[in-house]
Amino acid sequence: MRNNPFRGTGIALVTPFKQDQSVDIEALANIVNHVVDDGADFLVVLGTTSEAPTLTSEEKQLVISTIIKTNKGRLPVMLGMGGNNTQAVVESVKAQDFTGIGGILSVVPYYNKPNQRGMKAHFEAVADASPVPVVAYNVPGRVGVNLQAATCVELAQHPNIVAVKEASGNLQQIMEILRDKPADFDVLSGDDGVTQPLMALGATGVISVAANAYTNQFSRMMRAMKEGKTEAALRLHFAMLKMNQLIFADGNPAGIKCLMSHIGLCQNVLRLPLVKANEKVEADIIEEWKQLKNL
């Protein structure tokens, strides 16, 4: 049996910036403590939500070291390591210090638009090179191609590929993976808004943007689903439904940073080409928070 420590509520951590665009290390440490204290199960470092494409190599190492130092081994840590040059990803994996890091999140190669055989070969090369478990990340809306269910199930045979983060939005496809996968291979939701239904179908966790802010509420829903308390989970799911839409209404992480700024977790600063959420979305987020914060 493969040992996958990445189940339950995972947090796709934001990278907070100061007004001068520098990385806000103090805020990042506060965010880590906030999500750990409020019930998160694992941390995801340098995923899409972190604005990783805009970080320098030095800043990435600063973010990694700050999170590992603050976490103090309390939760498993997954590190985003992907790209569209397979050999470069393999070399970066071989060079990476995995002290304090328990796994890799690796996205389907973007821009090149590989076919299914190319995607399979890419992930197998990364998994062969990695000393820690690999979670494949399927997000066609960002990368331009879709990792099909059959290919995902084939990859699930690799002993070092332990899960897939599924953000295709294709419920039929995700159900086919859940039906056909090996018993020790996990499916993680990549969309906050459909996490509860996917848990009902057999998913074992989520990599969440929303839970950066309302960790307590999201984690309670996840625990309720794990414990078979479906009615309690549904109440939380429907209570969070509008906010889960609003935080993506003008791009990610624009929405979640807007909310986190409002509740004092970080400043509302992004790096170009991303910009702040528009005034209408910001007003809607602040209004919806009045209902959600006391849930």
Catalytic residue among 60, 120, 137, 214: 137
The torsion angles phi and psi of 243, rounded to 5 degrees, stand at -65, -35
- The b/e string for 220-252 (b: 16+ C-beta within 10 A; e otherwise) is bbbbbbeeeeeeebbebbebbebbbebbbebbb
- With CA atoms as reference, report the closest residue to 212 among 237, 187, 247: 247
Would you call 137 a catalytic residue per the annotation? yes
154, 121 Cβ separation under 8 angstroms: no
Q: Which two tokens stand for residue 137?
A: 């990340």
Catalytic residue among 120, 165, 181, 257: 165
Q: Which two tokens stand for residue 275?
A: 């910009």
Residues with catalytic function: 137, 165
